[in-house]
C-alpha cells in the first residue's frame, strides 16, 4: 500500500451521545471531502487527549449497533469504545463497511448460510466475496485530515494494524477490546480468534 491522497475536513458539529444504559458523553462529529471510496464515513472526536490519542476503527453494523443483535459483538464494542476513548481522548472512526464490506443484504444472506453450518468467513466466500473485504485507506485519510500521524489503536484485529501501518499511520500501541461473548455469538467469536488471529480469549 502507499500513502493515500489527502482528504479534507468538511464539517465539524457537536453531538451529545446517550446510550441505553444511561451513559452519556459529548462528541464532535467530523465529516470529510475527498475520501478514496466516496463513502460517508464519520469521525467522532471524544474526550481531551493528553498524549497519543486512542483510536477505534468501527465498521458499521446495523443489526448490532442499532438493533442490539446478539449474533455479533459489534454493539457492545461500540459502546465500550465510546467510553474508553472519552476517558482518554481520541477518535472513533465509524466506517460504512457493513458485513466486512459486503453490504447489509449480503450479510443477512451470510447469516442464513451460518445457520446451515458455515462459519462467518466460509459464508462470505460461499457468496463470492473475500473473507474480509474491508480496506482502511479512507480511515488513514481521515486520521491524516485530523492531524493524527501516531495513534494507539483499540482493536482485536491484527489486519487493522497491518493496513494502517502500510498506509503510513504509526500505531504506537494496540489495546484489545473486552470480550463480549454470549450464547449466540460464541461460534462467531471463536472463528475470529482461530481463523484471523483476533486477540480474543474464550473459555473452552
Question: Does 132 participate in catalysis according to the annotation?
Answer: yes
Q: Is 142:55 a contact under the CB 8 Å cutoff?
A: no
Q: Does the annotation mark 152 as catalytic? A: no
Which among 151, 165, 147, 161 is positioned nearest to 197, based on CA atoms? 161
**Residue given cell 444472506 in the structure block:** 109
Grid coordinates representing 18 are 446517550
Residue tagged active-site, from 134, 152, 159, 172? 134
Contact present, 150 and 91 (Cβ < 8 Å)? no
State in Å, rounded, how far the first CA of the chain is from the last one.
38
Q: Rounded to an integer, what is the distance from CA 124 to the centroid of its chain?
A: 18
Nearest-angstrom CA–CA distance, 190 and 204: 10
- Name the active-site residue from 132, 135, 159, 187: 132
Write out the catalytic residue numbers.
132, 134
Amino acid at each position: 500500500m502507499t500513502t493515500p491522497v489527502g482528504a479534507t475536513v468538511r464539517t465539524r458539529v457537536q453531538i451529545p451521545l446517550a446510550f441505553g444504559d444511561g451513559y452519556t458523553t459529548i462528541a464532535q462529529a467530523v465529516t470529510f471531502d475527498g475520501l478514496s471510496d466516496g463513502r460517508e464515513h464519520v469521525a467522532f472526536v471524544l474526550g481531551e487527549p493528553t498524549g497519543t490519542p486512542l483510536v477505534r476503527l468501527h465498521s458499521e453494523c446495523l443489526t448490532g449497533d442499532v438493533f442490539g443483535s446478539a449474533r455479533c459483538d459489534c454493539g457492545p464494542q461500540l459502546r465500550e469504545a465510546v467510553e474508553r476513548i472519552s476517558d482518554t481522548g481520541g477518535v472513533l472512526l465509524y466506517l460504512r463497511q457493513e458485513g466486512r464490506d459486503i453490504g447489509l443484504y449480503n450479510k443477512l444472506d451470510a447469516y442464513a448460510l451460518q445457520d446451515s453450518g458455515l462459519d462467518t468467513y466460509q459464508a462470505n466466500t460461499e457468496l463470492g466475496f473475500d473473507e474480509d473485504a474491508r480496506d482502511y485507506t479512507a480511515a488513514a485519510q481521515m486520521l491524516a485530515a485530523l492531524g493524527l500521524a501516531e495513534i494507539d489503536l483499540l482493536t482485536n484485529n491484527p489486519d487493522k494494524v497491518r493496513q494502517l501501518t502500510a498506509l503510513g499511520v504509526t500505531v504506537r500501541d494496540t489495546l484489545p477490546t473486552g470480550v463480549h461473548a454470549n450464547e449466540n455469538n460464541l461460534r462467531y467469536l471463536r472463528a475470529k480468534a482461530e481463523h484471523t488471529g483476533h486477540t480474543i480469549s474464550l473459555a473452552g
